[in-house]
A and B are shown apart, each in its own frame.
Chain A
Amino acid sequence: DVKVTQSSRYLVKRTGEKVFLECVQDMDHENMFWYRQDPGLGLRLIYFSYDVKMKEKGDIPEGYSVSREKKERFSLILESASTNQTSMYLCASSSATGFGDTEAFFGQGTRLTVV
Chain B
Amino acid sequence: AQSVTQPDIHITVSEGASLELRCNYSYGATPYLFWYVQSPGQGLQLLLKYFSGDTLVQGIKGFEAEFKRSQSSFNLRKPSVHWSDAAEYFCAGGGYNKLIFGAGTRLAVHP
Contacts and interface: CB of A to CB of B under 8 A. Distances in A.
A in complex with B = yes
B42 interface: yes
B43 interface: yes
Nearest to B27: A100
Interface in B68-105: 90, 93-104
| Contact size range, A | 20 to 34
B103 A100 contact: no
Contacts of A62: none
A31 B90 CA distance: 20
Contacts of A31: 97-98
Nearest to B5: A42
Contact of B94 (A45, A99, A106): A99
Interface in A81-115: 90, 92, 94, 96-104, 106-109
A48 B99 CA distance: 11
B43 A43 contact: no
A101 B94 contact: yes
A74 interface: no
Nearest to A100: B94
A50 B43 contact: no
B9 interface: yes
Contacts of B31: 100
Interface of B: 6, 9, 31-32, 34, 36, 41-46, 49, 51, 90, 93-104
